[in-house]
Structure 1
Amino acid sequence: MTAAQQLISIGRELSALGISPGSSGNISVREGERLLVTGTGVQLGDLREDDLAVLDLDGTHLAGARASKEVPLHRGMYRRDPEFGAVVHLHSPWATALSCTPPWSERSAVPPLTPYFVMRVGQTPLLPYRMPGSPQLGEDVLAAPGPFRAALLAHHGSVVAGRDLREALDRAVELEEACRLAVLTASVPRRVLDPAQIAELAERWGSPWTSESVRPGQD
């Protein structure tokens, strides 16, 4: 399966899951020195190959459709970690809802309620609000402290990266579930994993979680 076919398949999965409403959200995959990015204004469930844009790593348009305005956000993730090979940006309901609330900790907007969030996603900072499509979104990704492979964008949604499209999708789905649980438990007494449990999970699964992301004795 070509990279374009994989991207189209992932778009359909995201749409079927109901976490890419309307024409919101965009996906990209890196192919050597090029990026393949979904075009602007296209529903992810209806993608065709002529809806995809080809860019160089500097964001220059090479061929295909007009790229999503969120290219700076995608490029920020690729520039942050050369191991990232795919990026998913969504306006999914639970991640967007949580992005409108104060972050749980300095390094993670999402509390560690389940081991799966720590294992599969890791600490997820809240980046400041910017107008959609702002070049500053990419700079915010680069400037944020600590390691991460997912972030919430204030009043906007989420951005998630993986080594490939499947990994990026799986992390985006896990993040949406973690955000759902965080919103549902926000108004009731809740327990999070303790620092030792988090450290064990992060070490075992190689996920990013630093001490600044822990709030012992809270929640």
Structure 2
Amino acid sequence: MHGQDLLRQDLCRIGRSLFERGYVHATAGNISLRLDAPDGGGVLITPTDACLGFLAPEQLAWVDAQGQQRSGERASKTLALHRRIYAAAPDARCVIHTHSTHLVALTLQGVWRVDDILPPLTPYYVMKVGHVPLMAYRRPGDPEVADQVAQAIEAAARRGTPLRAVMLDRLGPVVWGPSATQAMATLEELEETAKLWLMCRREPAPLSQAQIEELRCHFGACW
């Protein structure tokens, strides 16, 4: 299980980094990593009500491919959501959910559009984040959220604009990616764009269609 041991340490490092930089607070948020068969299969996920800044590797819940917990403390209440994202987005290797301040504030003030919580303000938002739909409010851990998110991922894939994130109304973003590093980068870009939008009092004009098309042509942006 040496490979799983390394992944446990990596997940704790991610949690500590997010906590120390203010992306999560108290016991809010959760993180998971997909495990390959040699590492046991299934997912590693943070425990319910754990502070992400002070995780220990042995605390982390290992849930096998059949959904049975094999070790660690009780898995996060959002386990069903993480598992559905991995099923709907085969390239996802890491899922991160936070209660990031500016993004939650955005939902309280009103998002740009339900299918796009923020306009395409900057080139890196278009390239690194893409479309982010708003998911209707449900209590934390409600399994219906997992269904909503899986349906949004599948619909976006059919349109040729795959999702990297969704926003849970009043709760915070859920992001995923082919590595923990890329999932964190998506989260950071998303939160910083929300901060810019609110700081500028929601007044800046979005990038034009011609500017977005240029990003598609030069960088393969999926917008």
What secondary structure sits across from 1:152 in the alignment?
A: strand
8 Å Cα contact 2:99/2:173 also seen in 1: yes
User: 2: distance between equivalents of 1:58 and 1:192?
Assistant: 44
Q: 1:65-91 CA deviation, whole Å, 9 max, x = no partner?
A: 111101122122212210000000000
The one of 130, 133, 136 aligned to 2:138: 130
The one of 175, 191, 194 aligned to 1:160: 175
Shift of 1:20: 0.3
The one of 19, 26, 29 aligned to 2:30: 26
Shift of 1:166: 1.0
What secondary structure sits across from 1:100 in the alignment?
A: helix
8 Å Cα contact 1:76/1:137 also seen in 2: no
Give the aligned length: 208
User: 1: distance between equivalents of 2:217 and 2:77?
Assistant: 36
Gaps of 5+ in 1: 210-219
Matches within 5 A, 1:37-52: 37-52=45-60
Q: TM-score, normalised by structure 2?
A: 0.87
Matches within 5 A, 1:139-158: 139-144=147-152, 145-146=155-156, 147-158=162-173
User: 1: distance between equivalents of 2:173 and 2:35?
Assistant: 23
Matches within 5 A, 1:198-213: 198-209=212-223
Q: TM-score, normalised by structure 1?
A: 0.89
The 3 A distance-change label for structure 1 pair 162 and 136 is same
Matches within 5 A, 1:22-101: 22-32=26-36, 33-101=41-109
Q: 1:184-211 CA deviation, whole Å, 9 max, x = no partner?
A: 2235x321111121233245444432xx
Shift of 1:112: 1.1
8 Å Cα contact 1:122/1:202 also seen in 2: no
The structure carrying a bigger helix percent of its residues is: 2
Shift of 1:47: 0.7
Matches within 5 A, 1:100-111: 100-111=108-119
Gaps of 5+ in 2: 157-161
What secondary structure sits across from 1:148 in the alignment?
A: coil
Shift of 1:106: 4.8
Q: 1:150-172 CA deviation, whole Å, 9 max, x = no partner?
A: 11111110000010111111111
Q: 1:9-43 CA deviation, whole Å, 9 max, x = no partner?
A: 11111011111011101100001231000111111
8 Å Cα contact 2:42/2:66 also seen in 1: no
Q: Does 1:181 align with 2:196?
A: yes
The one of 118, 126, 139 aligned to 2:126: 118
Which shifted more, 37-46 or 71-80? Answer: 71-80
What secondary structure sits across from 2:118 in the alignment?
A: coil
User: 2: distance between equivalents of 1:103 and 1:192?
Assistant: 14
User: 2: distance between equivalents of 1:134 and 1:58?
Assistant: 20
8 Å Cα contact 1:119/1:201 also seen in 2: yes
